[in-house]
Chains A and B, each alone.
Chain A
Amino acid sequence: MNAPLLDIHGLRHTFPKADGGDLLVLDGIELQIAQGQIVGLLGRTGSGKSTLLRLIAGLAQPSDGSVTYLGQPVLGPAPGIAMVFQGFALFPWLTVLENVQLGLEALGLPDPEIRKRALAAIDLIGLDGYESAYPRELSGGMRQRVGFARALVVHPNILLMDEPFSALDVLTAETLRTDFLDLWGDGKLPIKGVILVTHNIEEAVLMCDRILLFSNNPGRIIREIGVDLPQPRNRLDPQFRDLVEKIYVAMTARTPNALTGRQTTINTVLPRVSANLFSGLIETLAAEPYHGKADLPVLADELHMEADELFPVAEAMQMFHFAEVEGGDIKLTDTGKQFAEFGTDDRKKLFQKQLLAYIPLATHVRRVLQERANHAAPKSRFLDELEDHMSTEDAEHTLRAVTAWGRYAEAFAYDDDAGMFSLENPT
Chain B
Amino acid sequence: MRVFVPISVSGWARLFSRWDILAVLLTLGLLVFLGEASRHVFEPLADLQRTPPSLDPANLPEYAARTTLRMLVAMALSLLFTFTYATLAAKNKQAERLLVPLLDILQSVPILGFISVTVVFFMALAPGRVLGAEFAAIFAIFTSQAWNMAFSFYQSLRTVPTELVEASRNFRLTPWMAFWRVDVPFAMPQLIWNMMMSMSGSWFFVVASEAISVGNTTVTLPGVGSYIALAIQQQNLKAVGWAIGTMLVVILIYDQILFRPLVAWADRFRYEQEPGAAAPHSWVLDILRRSRIVERVTRPFAVLWRRLLLPRQPDNADAIMRAPQARHGWITFQLGLIVFALTTFALWQTLRFFTESITLADLGTALLLGLATLIRVVVLIALASVIWVPAGVWVGSRPHAAVVVQPIAQFLAAFPANVLFPIAVSAIVAWRLDPNIWLSPLMILGTQWYILFNVIAGAAAIPAELRAAGANFRVRGWLWWRRIALPAVLPYYVTGAITASGGSWNASIVAEVASWGNKHLEAKGLGAYIAHQTDAGDFHRIVLGIAVMSLYVVVINRVFWRPLYLYAERKFRLG
Contact = CB atoms under 8 A, between A and B. Distances in A.
A134 B172 contact: no
Interface in B317-364: 317, 320-324
Given A85-B166, A92-B270, A75 B321 contact: yes
B269 interface: yes
A103 B173 CA distance: 7
A61 B323 CA distance: 9
A298 B171 CA distance: 41
Contact of A77 (B273, B310, B320): B320
A83 interface: yes
Given A89-B163, A89-B167, A108-B313, A102 B173 contact: yes
B108 to A, nearest CB: 30
Contact of A83 (B166, B173, B269, B313): B166
Contact of B181 (A81, A83, A89, A102): A102
Contacts of A136: 273
Interface string B276-308: 000000000000000000000000000000100
B163, B182, B271, B314 interface centre (most CB from chain A within 10 Å): B163
A87 B322 contact: no
Interface residues on B, range: 35 or more
A107 B322 contact: no
A77 B169 contact: yes
30 contacts: A59-B166, A59-B169, A72-B321, A75-B321, A76-B322, A76-B323, A76-B324, A77-B172, A78-B317, A79-B317, A82-B171, A83-B167, A85-B167, A86-B163, A87-B163, A88-B163, A89-B164, A91-B167, A91-B181, A92-B268, A92-B269, A93-B185, A93-B269, A94-B181, A105-B310, A106-B177, A106-B311, A107-B314, A109-B314, A134-B268
A301 interface: no
Interface in A47-87: 54, 57-59, 61, 72-79, 81-83, 85-87
B156 to A, nearest CB: 13
A89 B311 contact: no
A83 B170 contact: yes
B164 A79 contact: no
A54 B172 contact: no
B272 to A, nearest CB: 9
B321 A78 contact: yes
Interface of B: 161, 163-164, 166-167, 169-174, 177, 181-182, 185, 188, 268-271, 273, 306, 309-315, 317, 320-324, 571
Nearest to B167: A89
Given A77-B170, A108-B310, 16 more contacts: A75-B321, A76-B322, A78-B317, A78-B321, A83-B167, A85-B167, A91-B181, A91-B185, A92-B268, A92-B271, A93-B185, A93-B268, A105-B310, A106-B315, A107-B172, A107-B315
Nearest 6 Cβ contacts at the A-B interface: A103-B171, A89-B163, A89-B167, A93-B185, A93-B269, A83-B170
A417 interface: yes
A331 to B, nearest CB: 41
Contacts of B182: 91
Nearest to A74: B321
